[in-house]
Amino acid sequence: MGGRHPVSIISDQDLAMKGAIAKIFPNTRHRLWLWHIKKKFAEKLSHVYFKKSKFKIQMKKCIQSKYNIEEFEEKWKELMKECELANDDWLNSLYDIHSSWVPVYNRDIL
């Protein structure tokens, strides 16, 4: 790599990997692989994911649409309210790290 650090590294949510990236590449942005996160939706939110609701479609749109940051924030809040998920611990923890996996927060990375 010519003595240069990567601009970003994409991995899953493994805590050991997170620590290693921060230690070895302190100036590199650690991003989370969206595929891994989306894979967990069915397991963690099965009570709404498999219902005949619009959750699955609306969540995909919320995450992957070409919104700007403010629009994403608004759509996320609307979806949490509409699907009564504002108090879901897993979703709240996921939201806490949203800048590492939601595409709109990583568009500035080449």
pLDDT, position 64 = 87
CB atoms within 10 A of CB 70: 9
Q: How far is CA 101 from the centre of its chain?
A: 3
Question: For residue 110, is pLDDT > 70?
Answer: no
The pTM of the full predicted model, rounded to 2 decimals, is 0.83
- pLDDT per residue as tens digits for the range 4-19: 889 999 999 999 999 9
When mean pLDDT is compared across 17-26, 57-66, 90-99, the lowest value belongs to 57-66
Question: 55: closest CA among 70, 66, 44?
Answer: 44
pLDDT, mean of residues 48-75: 88
For 19, the token pair is: 């620590």
Residue 26 CA to residue 19 CA, distance in Å, equals: 10
